[in-house]
């Protein structure tokens, strides 16, 4: 029998009481291999106002491009202590930040590898469903051949690529513009 998935409802404004026990702002424990990065940004609404009641969830592969999950068939090693899951809230100014490692490339369609990326869910009051997006990395040559980036019109791809910050090595900026000019690309998954 085929059932239909339960309908989504907004997280509302008070989700932190339910979500805070599982906040994970450091995905890479000491000793986890890979290039360590801090990713910081803001969630902004259609008027450019910060969203203080938002949450970002991250799902990513390890530095070898392997997911810590039974359904990843790639012959690559999982890494002890690396789950690939992160969850961070925004603060009063709409800012979030987390520390992780740059993931390796995972397999994609047509046997081609995808560019390194983080799968991201955004939840806020006012969103009836989560928004799904991806974070890609700057100065990454494989971005040019990534199948998901190539699904996006060229002028909007940059919303998916984190930016280097002058004078702050190891820190990348990536913002979520929910609506309007510079609107982040969101995916239907």
Partner 1 sequence: MNKIPGYRRVCPGTQPPHRHPPYVSSLKRAPREPLVALPHTLSEITGPAFGPDIADPKACDLTRQHSGEPLGERIIVSGRVLDENSRPVPHTLIEIWQANAAGRYLHSSDRHNAPLDPNFTGCGHTLTDSEGRYRFVTIRPGEYPWGNHHNAWRPAHIHFSLFGPAFATRLVTQMYFQGDPLIPYDPIFNCTEDEEARNRLISQFDWETTIPSLALGHRFDIVLSGREGTPMETRMHGEKP
Region 34-63 residues binding partner 1, contact defined as CB under 8 A: 45-47, 49, 51, 53, 57, 59, 61
- Interface size with partner 1, residues (CB under 8 A): 77
Q: Output the six-digit token pair for 150.
A: 């190539």
The CB-of-59 to partner 1 minimum distance in angstroms stands at 5
- 93 interacts with partner 1 by CB under 8 A: no
Residues 130-159 that bind partner 1 (CB under 8 A): 130-132, 134, 147-148, 151-152, 156
Q: List the one residue from 7, 80, 139, 141 that touches partner 1 (CB under 8 A).
A: 7
Transcribe 49-79 into DSSP letters. -B-SSEEEEEE---TTS--SSTT---S----
Would you say 159 and 126 are in contact if contact means Cβ atoms under 8 Å apart?
Answer: no
The CB-of-128 to partner 1 minimum distance in angstroms stands at 4
Would you say 51 and 90 are in contact if contact means Cβ atoms under 8 Å apart?
Answer: yes
Segment contacting partner 1 (CB under 8 A): 34-42, 137-145, 161-169, 179-187?
A: 179-187
Q: How far apart are CA 11 and CA 14, in angstroms?
A: 8
Q: How far apart are CA 113 and CA 145, in angstroms?
A: 9
Segment contacting partner 1 (CB under 8 A): 28-36, 93-101, 116-124, 165-173?
A: 116-124
Q: Which is nearer to partner 1, 140 or 186 (CB)?
A: 186
Q: Which helix (H) or strand (E) element contains residue 18?
A: helix 16-19
Q: Which is nearer to partner 1, 5 or 166 (CB)?
A: 5
Would you say 16 and 89 are in contact if contact means Cβ atoms under 8 Å apart?
Answer: yes
């Amino acid at each position: 029998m085929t059932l239909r998935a339960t309908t989504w409802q907004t997280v509302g404004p008070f989700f932190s009481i339910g979500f805070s026990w599982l906040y994970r702002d450091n995905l890479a424990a000491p000793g986890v291999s890979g290039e360590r990065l801090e990713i910081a940004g803001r969630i902004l609404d259609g008027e450019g106002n910060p969203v203080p009641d938002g949450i970002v969830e991250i799902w990513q592969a390890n530095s070898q491009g392997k997911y810590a999950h039974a359904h990843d068939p790639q012959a690559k090693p999982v890494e002890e202590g690396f789950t690939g899951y992160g969850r961070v809230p925004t603060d009063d100014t709409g800012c979030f930040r987390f520390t992780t490692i740059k993931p390796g490339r995972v397999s994609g369609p047509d046997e081609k590898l995808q560019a390194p990326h983080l799968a991201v869910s955004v939840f806020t009051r006012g969103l009836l469903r989560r928004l799904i997006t991806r974070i890609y990395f700057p100065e990454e040559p494989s971005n040019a051949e990534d199948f998901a980036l190539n699904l996006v019109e060229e002028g909007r791809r940059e919303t998916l690529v984190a930016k280097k910050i002058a004078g702050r090595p190891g820190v990348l900026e990536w913002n979520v513009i929910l609506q309007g000019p510079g609107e982040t690309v969101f995916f239907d998954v």
